Chains A and B, each alone.
Chain A
Amino acid sequence: NAGVTQTPKFQVLKTGQSMTLQCAQDMNHEYMSWYRQDPGMGLRLIHYSVGAGITDQGEVPNGYNVSRSTTEDFPLRLLSAAPSQTSVYFCASSLQGAQGKLFFGSGTQLSVL
């Protein structure tokens, strides 16, 4: 049972490049979310999804896009990376929405130069 799998683990981008952070879960969880974690700022919610085809914005959605075409996958897209998006990104899933136990992936460390 893999749980929540995030790829890649590390990524370096140049300003203006685009990329997709992948997140997959094998627990059949309807709820999935993306957070970024910065020193002194804690975890901040970027986007979340309560099921396939349904997404909504969190606290800091600007500069990020998401889609949820399947229950298993919830990719996060950076269309034009900026240095302010340098952070550690965590994907999480839950069986019972945000009030349930969130299972987190191991994170993607992203640097934008």
Chain B
Amino acid sequence: SQKIEQNSEALNIQEGKTATLTCNYTNYSPAYLQWYRQDPGRGPVFLLLIRENEKEKRKERLKVTFDTTLKQSLFHITASQPADSATYLCALGAATGFQKLVFGTGTRLLVSP
């Protein structure tokens, strides 16, 4: 069956370090992958999109990689700040069923001062 897996355990890091979050998928042929941030009691907010033919995307302190061989995306936040504390969700759009965006369960990031 199709699965998108994100680490369910919270990631705790110190301010200034790089946070790395993982999104693994099985039985998918993704055409694109997106990352969202969600704060408690709020809707998700879009961060980055990367397509299957792109290896890496950057935006300010954020970097996303997409390895279709490993079936994995890594999401990096450099120089992390306490304000980066949130839950981060990955979402895949498959090559078939193109208009259905399927989300992982998310990983909570806690950045300590």
Q: Is B truly associated with A?
A: yes
Residues of A within 8 A of B (CB): 4, 31, 33, 35, 40-45, 48, 50, 56, 58-59, 90, 92, 97-107
Residues of chain B at the chain A interface (Cβ within 8 Å): 4, 8, 31-32, 34, 36, 41-46, 49, 89, 91, 93, 98-106
12 A-B pairs in the complex with CB atoms less than 8 angstroms apart: A4-B43, A42-B4, A42-B103, A42-B104, A45-B101, A97-B98, A98-B98, A99-B49, A101-B49, A103-B46, A105-B43, A106-B42
A100 proximity list for chain B (CB < 8 A): 49
CB pair A40–B93 under 8 Å, yes or no, is no
Q: Chain B residues with Cβ under 8 A from A105's Cβ?
A: 43
Total of A-B residue pairs, C-beta within 8 Å: 63
Contact between chains at A50 and B99 (CB < 8 Å): yes
Which residues of chain B come closer than 8 Å to A103, judged between CB atoms? 46
Contacts of B103 in A (CB 8 A): 35, 42-44
Closest A residue to B36 by CB, please name it.
Answer: A102
Q: Which residues of B contact A41 (CB under 8 A)?
A: 105
Q: How far is the CB of B2 from chain A (nearest CB, A)?
A: 10
* B43, A42: Cβ atoms closer than 8 Å: no
Q: Which residue of chain A has its CB nearest to the CB of B101?
A: A98
Instruction: Please name 12 further chain A to chain B contacts, defined as beta carbons within 8 Å, in addition to the given A4-B43, A103-B46, sorted by A numbering.
Output: A35-B103, A45-B101, A45-B102, A59-B102, A97-B98, A98-B100, A99-B49, A99-B98, A99-B101, A100-B49, A101-B46, A106-B41
Given contacts A42-B89, A43-B89, A107-B42, contact A102 B101 (CB under 8 A): yes
B106 — which chain A residues lie within 8 A by C-beta? 42
Contact: A102 with B46, CB < 8 Å? yes
Inter-chain CA distance A100–B42, complex, in Å, is: 20
Given A45-B100, A104-B44, A106-B43, answer yes or no on A99-B31 (Cβ-Cβ < 8 Å): yes
Residue of B nearest to A9 (CB): B41
Q: In the assembled complex, which residues on chain B have CB atoms less than 8 Å from the CB atom of A40? A: 8, 105
- Decide if B42 touches A99 in the complex (CB within 8 Å): no
Q: How far is the CA of A56 from the CA of B8 in the complex (A)?
A: 30
Whether A98 lies near B93 (C-beta < 8 A) is yes
